[in-house]
Structure 1
Amino acid sequence: MVMGLFDGLLGNATEANHEEVKQELASVLIPEEKINLAFKLVRDLVVFTDYRLIVVDKQGFTGKKVDYKTFPYKSISRFSVETAGHFDLDAELKIWVSGAAEPAQYLQFKKDKSITEIQQALALAILK
């Protein structure tokens, strides 16, 4: 438990409980939409459903203000993953949507295996 909290504070993504995420996103999910994979980054979430990628950005000191970004898999044109190195400890994921020159979403992770799992899930979702 302490290590999970410590990982969250450092920005490492940890796999989130699907039932808890489903309850938290009850007003966002459509009927019968299933959560396939969910990661927690401190207070934020990266959620893969059977239809889309949802990025939940909790803002402000209390986290009551929430930005929900939805990326239907069919609109994601490309993505890039930059792994962490010896001196640059951050891994990065950038997501582009069709027609955009700049990334629509930029996520930063501390050095951990979650970035690999996330890019594999994203590749599976958009390439199938």
Structure 2
Amino acid sequence: MGLLNKILGNASEVSSEKLNQKYAKLLIDDEQIELGFTLFRDVFMFTNKRLILVDIQGLTGSKIEYKSLPFKNISRFSLETSGTFDLDA
């Protein structure tokens, strides 16, 4: 069901230990990865200080864009609940 979830746009959770091994160089002093998700090749991580987005582009994945959003700069968010006949319900 993992591939179907990815096709439908559902991200799967990744352990913080696995993300620490791969993305430790992105972390600043006293920063720890709290929660992380992956969607195909893209990754988004919540640390104790910011949100880090990793956008892997192209067929080979050689172009990678990193975005860092400190929590103090996030002014709003949205939440969508599932409907009656939603596939995620």
TM-score of the two chains, using structure 2 as the length reference: 0.80
Q: How well do the aligned residues superpose, as a CA RMSD in angstroms?
A: 2.3
1:11-66 superposed Cα distances (whole Å, 9 cap, x missing partner)? 21111021221122122111331111111111111210000011111111122211
Aligned counterpart in structure 1 of residue 29 of structure 2, from 31, 47, 53: 31
Q: In the alignment, which residue of structure 2 is the partner of 1:49?
A: 47
Cα displacement (A) at 1:85: 4.0
Q: Identity across aligned pairs (percent)?
A: 52
Q: For the residues of structure 1 that align with 2:81 and 2:55, how far apart are their CA atoms?
A: 22
Whether the 8 Å contact between 2:15 and 2:35 is mirrored in structure 1 is: no
Question: Gapped runs of 5+ residues in structure 2?
Answer: none
Give the alignment of 1:34-113 within 5 angstroms.
34-85=32-83, 112=88
Q: For the residues of structure 2 that align with 1:11 and 1:67, how far apart are their CA atoms?
A: 20
3-state secondary structure, aligned to 2:36:
strand
3-state secondary structure, aligned to 1:78:
coil
TM-score of the two chains, using structure 1 as the length reference: 0.59
Q: For the residues of structure 2 that align with 1:112 and 1:22, how far apart are their CA atoms?
A: 29
**Which residue type is aligned with residue 78 of structure 1?**
R
Aligned length: 89
